[in-house]
Amino acid sequence: MSGTVEAPPLSAKDKNSFAYLTIKDRLPVILSKIADSVYRLKGKIKETYGEEGTEDLKSVAGCISKLRNEVQTNKPVVPIQDGRSDVPVWNDHLKEIITTTGSPPKWFESPWLYVECYMYRRVQEAAELCKTLKDFDVFREQKEKSFFDSQQAILVLMEHLHNVETEGESGKQVDLKSLFEKFLRVSLWGNKCDLSISGGQDVAQRSSPLDQLHQFEPKILIDNTKDVFKCLQGIKVTKGHPACVDIILDNAGFELVTDLCFAEFLISFGLASKVCFHEKAFPWFVSDVTPYDFDWTINQLCASNSIYMSKLACKWKQYLEDKTWQVAVDDFWTLSFPFNEMESRCPDLYARLAKSDFIFLKGDLNYRKLVGDLAWPFTTQFTTSLRGFQPAPLCALRACKSDTVTGLRGGQADEVKAKDDKWMINGNWAVISFSDKLT
Contact present, 362 and 188 (Cβ < 8 Å) = no
Do 18-129 and 139-435 have matching folds?
Answer: no
Polymer length of the chain: 439
Q: Residue 115: what residue type?
A: V
Please report, for the chain, the start and end positions of each structural domain, with discontinuous segments joined by +: 18-129, 139-435
Pick the CATH number of 18-129 from 1.10.10.10, 1.20.930.60, 3.40.367.20, 2.60.40.3880: 1.20.930.60
The candidate with the shortest Cα–Cα distance to 63, out of 117, 122, 23, is: 122
328, pLDDT greater than 80: yes
- The share of the chain scoring above pLDDT 90, in percent, equals 90
Give the pLDDT confidence of 81-126 residue by residue, as tens digits. 999 999 999 999 999 999 999 999 999 999 999 999 999 999 999 9
pLDDT-based confidence at residue 398 (cuts at 50, 70, 90)? very high
Kindly state the average pLDDT of the residues 201-206: 54
- Alpha-carbon distance of 283 to 285, in angstroms, equals 7
Which superfamily is assigned to 139-435 in CATH?
Uncharacterised protein PF01937, DUF89, domain 3 (3.40.50.10880)
200, pLDDT greater than 60: no
Instruction: Determine the pLDDT at residue 174.
Output: 86
- Alpha-carbon distance of 208 to 160, in angstroms, equals 11
Instruction: Determine the pLDDT at residue 20.
Output: 98
**Taking the model in full, what pTM does it have?**
0.96
Look at strands 243-248 and 358-362 and give their pairing: parallel
Instruction: Determine the pLDDT at residue 167.
Output: 86
247, pLDDT greater than 90: yes
Instruction: Determine the pLDDT at residue 195.
Output: 56
Give the pLDDT confidence of 330-353 residue by residue, as tens digits. 999 999 999 999 999 999 999 999
Give the pLDDT confidence of 296-326 residue by residue, as tens digits. 999 999 999 999 999 999 999 999 999 999 9
Contact present, 154 and 139 (Cβ < 8 Å) = no
pLDDT-based confidence at residue 207 (cuts at 50, 70, 90)? low
Phi first, then psi: what are they for 358, rounded to 5°?
A: -160, 140
Phi first, then psi: what are they for 250, rounded to 5°?
A: -120, -95
Kindly state the average pLDDT of the residues 228-234: 98
- As a three-state string, the secondary structure of the chain is CCCCCCCCECECCCCCCHHHHHHHHHHHHHHHHHHHHHHHCHHHHHHHHHHHHHHHHHHHHHHHHHHHHHHHCCCECCCCCCCCCCHHHHHHHHHHHHHHHCCCCECCCCEHHHHHHHHHHHHHHHHHCCCCCCCCCCCHHHHHHHHHHCHHHHHHHHHHHHHHHHHHHCCCCCCHHHHHHHHHHHHHHHCCCCCCCCCCCCCCCCCCHHHHHHHHHHHEEEECHHHHHHHHHHHHHHHCCCEEEEEECCECCHHHHHHHHHHHHHHHCCCEEEEEEEECCCCCCCCECCHHHHHHHHHHHHCCCCHHHHHHHHHHHHHHHHCCEEEEECHHHHCCCCHHHHHHHCHHHHHHHHCCCEEEEEHHHHHHHHCCCECCCCCCCHHHHCCCCCCCCEEEEEECCCCCCCCCCCCHHHHHHHHCCCCCCCCCCEEEEEECCCC
Mean pLDDT for the chain? 94
Give the pLDDT confidence of 140-195 residue by residue, as tens digits. 999 999 999 999 999 999 999 999 999 877 777 889 999 999 999 999 999 986 55
- Number of neighbours of residue 175 by Cβ within 10 angstroms: 9
Contact present, 9 and 374 (Cβ < 8 Å) = yes
Residues with Cβ within 8 Å of residue 359, at least 6 apart in sequence? 245, 246, 247, 248, 353, 391, 392, 393, 394, 395
202, pLDDT greater than 50: no
Instruction: Determine the pLDDT at residue 210.
Output: 87
68, pLDDT greater than 80: yes
Give the pLDDT confidence of 354-397 residue by residue, as tens digits. 999 999 999 999 999 999 999 999 999 999 999 999 999 999 99
